[in-house]
Each structure stands twice: as structure tokens, then as C-alpha cells.
Chain A
Amino acid sequence: MLPFTYAIRNLFRSKTRLAQTIGGSALVVLLVMTAVAVNTGMKRVLSASGSPHNVILIGAGSEESIQRSEVADRTAGIAEAGVPGISQHLGVRAVSSEIHYMNYLTLDDGRRGQALFRGVTHQALRVHPEVRVIEGNFPAAGEIMVGELAWRKLGMPEEALKTGTGVELDGQKMRVSGIFAAPGTVLESEVWATLGDLRVLAKRDTVSCIAIRLDNPADFEEAELFTKQRLDLELSALKESDYYARLTAFFKPLRAMTWITAGLIAAGALFGGINTLYAAFASRVREMATLQAIGFGKGSLLLSLIQESTLACLIGTLVASVIALLLLDGLTIPFSIGAFTLEISPAVALTGIATGVLLGLVGTLPPAIRCLKPALPTALRSS
């Protein structure tokens, strides 16, 4: 068996090649870690956004888009009386009429960005208990309350949406009344206004949906039964968690694209690395033959070459991990219905390490085998 120090010393024989290997593997590992972080981040935020306790009553036929849905305003009162199992606090049932409205928000300085507006009453806080007003107040008429990550979705600096800031929505001057948090959900990227204001701005006399919070998620069938017993209201009942699960499925191609991009670049880097190693190992055929001649087996030599290459790839992995922790961890990424935060979790870090090890193994084997393949007399005579 060749000593481990032999592999380490060989690493520094060509500093250019070492830099190439480290750089290439760092790029691949960073891409894979980004792809995993994006995928898990988007899935996490969408799955956390839908509570299994919540049911959404939307217009029949509008199951794919709450924004298109039209539900009669009186439905909230009828559902409150007709659906058993609704959560109650101090005798008030958790039923919230909401308008979902996508539009542009303009700042006083002219900057504008698109956001999802939710027209609500105070009842929304009973149905979405994860929402906490962390600064300022719940909006009154002429005011909006912004989610903690709304600035990212709007593509504005964080300080642009401070409490008290003047904004414009559909030509209507409004004021930011406060900021709310809803950790880990897409709600944090939304802008909330009063139901009355959005009804006027969206020019509608209906609401988008009625959100209901149930004590027991198993009572969803009661809400579904209600929609069948009141066919005149033309409703469809959806579990909030199912709605966001559908959105997760909708974004699947986008997540697949991150994998495909990472895969293609990784394949390019892998073949580039293999090419470099073919050239590097080709010049060491005689060296390997000499080591065989003094008694080292082909297995030991192969192991030493793998050690050498894997070490370089692991240094690249380390570099990629440091970059990921410094630049990616906590980075907020906007997407069409909100924003999510990248997290370099232990799972992401382990995936990066596994990628680095695999790069070292897969990238070394073909050139190493080729280097050790020639018969000893031929190899000793090679130049």
C-alpha cells in the first residue's frame, strides 16, 4: 500500500491542475447545493403555507385559481351557520372572507413591483394564526400591512416598505400601517389591505374565497357536504393544504429545471475534469510502472490515484460549502406567488459532500484505469 503522504505530495506537483480540479469541483458542488436548497426551500414554504385545519370555499370551477374565483358575500354567514366543527374563540367562529388580487404597488419615488394583495377583515387572524403583527397596526381603510418578505417579492430594498411609508395602489394613495410575520409561509410575501378597500380597487362585489378554520381536520367532509347541500351558492371546498400541494405540483417543472441545469453543468465539468486527468495521468504511466516494478500492486496504485483526486475534489467541496454558507444561506428568492429563503441545512451540506466524493471517484476511475492498463514492459518503456 502506498503511503497517504504520497497522494498528498502528488497533489502539488502541478499547481495549475490542482487549481483547475478544485475550481471545477467547487463549481459543481455549489450548483448541486444550490439546486437542493432551491428545491427544498420552495417545497418547504409551499407545504408550510397550507394548514390542514383550514378549508377554502371557492367558486365552483375556479379550483385552479383563487384570484379568478367569485363567491357571494353572504356565503360567509351561511357557511358559519352551516358547517359544523368550525374553531371558536370567545364565541366568535373562525370564518374569513378574503379577496386575492394581484397588482402593482408603486412607491412615492416611482418604483413599482407586483405583489399578491389579500383583502381581509380582522377575522383573517383567527383563520391564519401563524400571522403576527410585528410592527405597527393591522390595516384600516386606506392602509396596507406588508409581509416581512414582501420587499423581496416586490423587488425593492427592505427599508422601502417601512411603517408609515406612502404607497400607491391602482392610483389610490395608501400608507403602510405595519409589518407582519408568518414564518416559513408564502403569506409573508403578501400585502394585506382591508376587504372594503380591495373590493373597491378590484371593482368586484364578490369575494375570492371564504377561509374557514376547523378544530379537527377530519371535519373537512362537513365543509364538502355543505357545498353540496347549498348548490345554489356554487361552491367548491378545498383543503388549504391541498391547494398549496397543487401549487407545489405546478412548480415542479421549475424545480426540475434547476436540477437539469445543475446536471448539465456538472456533466460538463465532470468530462472536463476527466479530460484533464487523462492528460495528467498519461504522463505518469512510467512512474506507475516503476512503482509496480518495485512491488506495489495495481490496486494500491489505483487507490493512491483516487485518494489524490478525491482530496482535490474535497478541497473544492470545502470551498463550495464556505461560499454557500456565506452567500446562499438566508438568501431570499422571489417566485410568482411569494418568496422563500434558502437554507444550507445539514442535508444540503451532506449532498454537497457526497457530490464531491462522487466527483473524485467517478472522475478518476477512467483515466486511472487507462494509466494502469499497459503491460509492465510497455509501460516502463513509455515516454
Chain B
Amino acid sequence: MKPLHLILAASCLLVSCGEKETTTPATTASASAPSSELQAVFAASPKGEAKLIHIARTTAKPGDEVTLSGRVIGTESPFVGGRAAFTLGDPTILKACNENPDDKCETPWDSCCNTKEEKLVALATVQVVGADGRVLKQEIEGVNGLKKLGTVTVTGKVAEGSSPDSLVVNATAIQVQ
């Protein structure tokens, strides 16, 4: 037997001792068909003229109806896993980093090129609530083509507990463009 064969055999032994990786498939899209409540929100059309988030947030009060336009952007994971909620960013302030020249950012939806202050004024949370007032326990990513960096127009009521520092909208209509 030649030394090469021995080296190969020894390598096989070492390789066989390595642990097996257990991977959990990442959930990137809606795992099941959207519920009728969620479908109804996507079927409805937004009302009125869309406002920019950084302007709307200063005047919106809980219970007001608002229409916002923006992009799914602003955090490393703009969609909440297992819940019908996502962050909507003001496109006049928040940029996808890969749209800058020579920037090959792999997660452009996290707006890492913007400052914390810019994110604070330019972000809103959009959620779809059920009849019980709780956010639907369903993935919204992938429904009707809703995806990261997608442009969306949303109509909804400003949620209880929402404030100018943290605008939360209970969506009644979502239109993906």
C-alpha cells in the first residue's frame, strides 16, 4: 500500500468523526395559505392619497385612519416570523444600501447606511389584526408578492399605544406594487 492510500484512509477516519449539522430550513415565505382575514386585507384597495411616514407620524393619533406608502425595509428582518407584521420605511429617507454606487451589501433591507435617528423618524410598523384585536399568527412575507424592499401602500387605523416615536398601523388594505 502506498503512503497516499494511507493518508486517504486516515483522512476518511477523521472526516467520519465530524459532527453532523442539523439545519433548520429558514422560513422566508408564507408556509401555509393565507387566512381569509389576511386575504381580505390584500383584496381591499387603499383609500385616499398616501402620506410619507415621517410626516404622518407627527400628527397621527390612535384611531385615526392613515394611508402610507413605503418600502419593506429598516431592520435586519423586517418581517416578524409567524406574525402578520412588518416594518415599512419612508423611501425619501431610508435607502437600500446596494443602491449606492459600488456597494455590494448583502442585506440591503436593513438600511445600515442610514443613521439610527433617520430610522426612528422614517419607520412605521404595519400589522394585520384579527377580530380579537391580536396580530394574526401567520406569516405575511410572500403573500401577494409582499417581500423585502417591496413597495407597498397601506391604509389602516393607527393602533392603540402608537405614538409619534413608534407609529403602529393596523392595516385594513395592503397594495403591493
Contacts of A362 in B (CB 8 A): 6, 9-10
Contact call A228/B14, Cβ cutoff below 8 A: no
| A contact residues vs B (CB 8 Å cutoff) | 36, 39, 43, 60, 63, 221-222, 224-225, 228-234, 236, 259, 263, 266-267, 270-271, 274, 351, 358, 362, 365-366, 369
Once A232-B120, A365-B1 are accepted as A-B contacts, the answer to whether A274 and B6 lie under 8 Å apart by CB is: yes
> Which residues of A are found within 8 Å of B168, using beta-carbon distances?
229
CB distance from B146 to the nearest CB of A (A): 15
User: Which positions 108-159 of chain B face chain A at CB distance < 8 Å?
Assistant: 116, 119-120, 123, 125, 127, 135, 137, 159
Taken together as a complex, chains A and B put the C-alpha atoms of A263 and B87 apart, in Å, by 50
The 9 A-B pairs with the shortest beta carbon distances in the complex, nearest first, are A232-B165, A221-B82, A366-B1, A232-B166, A263-B14, A225-B80, A225-B83, A231-B166, A228-B125
Task: Say whether B163 faces chain A, with CB atoms less than 8 Å apart.
Answer: yes
B81 at the interface (CB under 8 A from A): yes
A253 to chain B, nearest CB (A): 13
B26 proximal to A (CB < 8 A): no
B75 interfacial by beta-carbon distance below 8 Å: yes
Q: Knowing that A228-B87, A263-B14 are A-B contacts, what are 15 other residue pairs whose CB atoms are under 8 Å apart, sorted by A's residue number?
A: A39-B19, A43-B19, A63-B76, A221-B82, A224-B81, A225-B85, A228-B85, A231-B123, A266-B10, A270-B6, A271-B3, A271-B6, A362-B6, A365-B1, A369-B1
Does B10 contact A232, Cβ atoms closer than 8 Å?
no
Residues of B within 8 A of A230 (CB): 166
Q: Which of B4-20 contact A (CB under 8 A)?
A: 6-7, 9-10, 13-14, 17-19
Point out the residues of chain A lying under 8 angstroms from B9, CB to CB. 362
Q: Do B6 and A231 touch across chains, with their CB atoms under 8 A apart? A: no
Q: Which residues of the other chain, A, contact B1 by a CB distance below 8 angstroms?
A: 365-366, 369
* Contact (Cβ within 8 A) B87 A231: yes
Whether A229 contacts B6 by the Cβ 8 Å rule is no
With both chains docked as a complex, state the minimum distance between the C-beta of B106 and any C-beta of chain A, in angstroms: 16
CA distance A40 to B104 in the complex (A): 38
Which of A221, A229, A365, A369 is packed against the most chain B CB atoms within 10 Å?
A229
Q: In the docked arrangement, what's the CA distance between A274 and B2, Å?
A: 12
Distance from A236 Cβ to chain B, minimum over Cβ atoms (Å): 8
Shortest distance between the CB of A40 and any CB in chain B (Å): 9
A171 to chain B, nearest CB (A): 33
Q: Which residues of B contact A233 (CB under 8 A)?
A: 166
Q: How far is the CB of B30 from chain A (nearest CB, A)?
A: 14
Q: Flag if A267 contacts B125 (CB, 8 Å).
A: no
- Which of A221, A232, A274 is close to B80, meaning CB atoms less than 8 Å apart? A221
Q: Can you name 21 A-B pairs with beta carbons within 8 Å?
A: A43-B19, A221-B80, A225-B85, A225-B127, A228-B80, A229-B166, A231-B74, A231-B119, A231-B120, A231-B123, A231-B166, A232-B120, A232-B163, A234-B116, A259-B14, A259-B18, A263-B10, A358-B13, A362-B6, A362-B9, A366-B1
B7 contacts across to A, CB distance below 8 A: 267
